[in-house]
Structure 1
Amino acid sequence: MSAKPLPTDSASGVPPGKSSQPLDPQVAQLLDLIARAKRPPIHALEVADAKIAYEKSAPILDISPPPVHDVENFAIPARDGHQIPVRLYAPREASWADPLPLLVYFHGGGFTVGSVNSHDALCRTFCLGAECLVLSVDYRLGPDWQFPTAAHDAFDALHWVFAEAERLGADPARIALGGDSAGGTLAAASAVAARNAGLAPVLQLLIYPGTSARQDTPSHRALADGYLLTADMIQWFFSHYLGQDADRDDWRFAPLDGGGTGADVRGVCPAWIAVAGYDPLHDEGVAYAAKLQAAGVPATLVDYPSMIHDFFKLGRFVPAVLQAHADANGALRQAFKT
């Protein structure tokens, strides 16, 4: 929804950028409950308070964290000496003799909020559903750490995982990258960085990724307010992450069209991309799949037309989310050949 009346497609009567299917009933009910609560949105809070609010809200809406075989917290080195906290999930005992596939995962949160804790249940879901190790990366966030720090942390985690795979009990020939929202941006950029470094992940799992330099697509205009992620919230996130407007034109932030042409994606690993019909980021996810396909990269686009941004983490209230989890795990299993 936007402040001005939107033109409609004459055939369907639906505004450009808006899904032709109705909202999932449980999603609609959840949005109504959130509106009735009248709590200030994240972008109306001080940054420190916004980080706390996001951490508190995440487990309320998500499924209960399923038990896995083992969880280990440790840190890995970044290029500047910073120790990046990570969390490793294992579905069973792994060893050099019987290695497991591994998913390197980057959480969402607009490069400003979120953590390995906020995405704990989702990472456990991938660990069990795809029968793989999951390394969740607690990359640095704005405003204390601005672009390109998050991208550098993601790239450093990528290199570390390939170098240390055998020590982790992971199969270096079966490593995937994944992330949701801003984490999807980092996963897409990491796939390009991997290609540049001669590394070969088997999949980039991009869940409603941010890929565009400017938020001006039809879905951004049609869904600017009322569907959890708003235009004001997006700009608030980016105001804390980007040090200057020119940063938008860097492919590490905008792999679709940064600088006009975005990242050179020829030869990157295959992709599985999930988009939601009531998500402002919908169109840029669709466009990134098309960009990959045009470059000869196998890219599967899965559109969930009745869902909103962040729906992968709304499973406690929205039963249909479980099918999306199964779809993503199926894509991982196929890439891992398990």
Structure 2
Amino acid sequence: MLDYSQYQGPSEEWKSFVRDNPIQAPDLTLSPQTMRQATNELRVQIAQAELREGDLYKTVPWRDYSVLTRDKQNIIARVYRPSDNMSSEALPIYLYFHGGGHLLGTIETEDASCSRIAANASILVVNINYRHTPEFKHPTQVDDAWDAFEWLSRNASAIGGDPTRVIVGGISAGAGLAASIVIRQHMDSKTPSLTVCGQLLCIPWLIHPDNHPFRTQPTSSYMQNNYAPVLPMSLLQLFTDLLHAEDPADPSLNIALSEEDRLSGLPKSSFLIAGQDLLRDDGLYYADKLARNGIPTKVHVFPGLPHGFRRYSSLPSSRVWDELLLESFKWILSTDNACSFTVSKTK
């Protein structure tokens, strides 16, 4: 196997942070619904505070649209457009899927991050509220993501976006949904009429835990981060169990294990990876595979930082994360096809 253990850490930045801010382990004695409600309420509070601090309520208006799914249900697409670009100009589109293990997250939990991207990157952000476990099992989330992609193909111009400049991305479980769309769009001859020019995969969940080829390797992220902060194995296993996937080898849950002949011709791919993360190897393995198959690929690793560290905005690396998101959009939309691999220098 490829060995990425050199990024494990923890970093001095993280050790200093937790001395003053102890990280509570997830309470797995709670029901999934109770855990979801408590977590979502906290995330909404944080998002609202960041919206106020950044004055984003004024600079980025948003509008909600209804997306009809294949089973005749409605999910929400929230579209954010920077107020300094309210003309008829068609903007590049970022189709975004939130993280949370398919259990956590709402439209409102993502308002601050989506607004920042829209304002700072001059991009139309389309935030999709796919349905969650435990009420909705796999493949509902994957199907909702594709249905949203098809909805966007029919409505991109109407909402002020440019259908020839579409980036698909997300965080954690949402990044897995994004990656599944990009693969399917590439392989499907009847694909919707959108031009996907890149994917942005942040701390992505790209392999089903029961199907992970490196699960028992001593230097794997699974072995090193079994008890890691934010996302220990016990929590990932809960997320996995709630999906109730009948086949752990389902290709849509194992994008990083895709056969190489499916990868040729994929669009530019940008990755943000945390070193002390259970999912570290998912992202780095897939990025390596894409680069070996000639896909323009950029990777940035934050050594010694855990999954989802961006939620702690006082970390210096959280500011670097935001800067790299903007750099990723700029690179994907440019004519630069150079690959790169960079590592943050944490304190």
> Is the 1:204–1:270 Cα contact (8 Å) retained in structure 2?
yes
In structure 1, stretches of 5+ residues that fail to align are 1-14
Counterpart position of 1:255 = 255
Q: How many angstroms does 1:283 deviate by?
A: 1.0
What is the CA–CA distance in structure 2 between the aligned matches of 1:263 and 1:184, rounded to whole Å? 21
**How big is each residue's C-alpha offset from its partner over 1:3-47, in whole Å with a ceiling of 9 and x where there is no partner?**
xxxxxxxxxxxx973635442535652476344xx5x61533101
What is the CA–CA distance in structure 2 between the aligned matches of 1:300 and 1:130, rounded to whole Å? 18
Relative to 1, partners in 2 of residues 1:180 and 1:130: Cα closer, same or farther, differing over 3 Å?
same
Relative to 1, partners in 2 of residues 1:240 and 1:320: Cα closer, same or farther, differing over 3 Å?
same
In structure 2, stretches of 5+ residues that fail to align are 336-347
Counterpart position of 2:340 = none
2:17 pairs with 1:29? yes
2:200 counterpart SS class: strand
What is the CA–CA distance in structure 2 between the aligned matches of 1:252 and 1:243, rounded to whole Å? 11
2:158 counterpart SS class: helix
How many corresponding residue pairs? 315
What is the CA–CA distance in structure 2 between the aligned matches of 1:320 and 1:16, rounded to whole Å? 20
Counterpart position of 1:106 = 97
What is the CA–CA distance in structure 2 between the aligned matches of 1:148 and 1:31, rounded to whole Å? 41
> Is the 1:257–1:263 Cα contact (8 Å) retained in structure 2?
no
Matches within 5 A, 1:31-180: 33-35=21-23, 41-59=26-44, 64-65=50-51, 66=54, 67=56, 68-92=59-83, 93-94=85-86, 97-180=88-171
1:334 to 331, 335, 338: 331
Relative to 1, partners in 2 of residues 1:105 and 1:24: Cα closer, same or farther, differing over 3 Å?
farther
Q: How many angstroms does 1:256 deviate by?
A: 1.3
Structure 1 range deviating more: 139-148 or 263-272 = 263-272
Q: How many angstroms does 1:180 deviate by?
A: 0.3
2:208 pairs with 1:213? yes
2:157 counterpart SS class: helix
2:281 counterpart SS class: helix
> Is the 1:18–1:222 Cα contact (8 Å) retained in structure 2?
no
Letter of the 2:130 counterpart? Y
Q: How many angstroms does 1:108 deviate by?
A: 0.1
Q: How many angstroms does 1:324 deviate by?
A: 1.2
2:239 counterpart SS class: helix
2:304 counterpart SS class: strand
Relative to 1, partners in 2 of residues 1:171 and 1:24: Cα closer, same or farther, differing over 3 Å?
farther
1:232 to 229, 234, 237: 234
Letter of the 2:268 counterpart? P
Q: Aligned residues: percent identity?
A: 25
Letter of the 1:29 counterpart? F
1:202 counterpart SS class: strand
What is the CA–CA distance in structure 1 between the aligned matches of 2:156 and 2:20, rounded to whole Å? 45
Counterpart position of 2:262 = 264
Counterpart position of 2:224 = 222
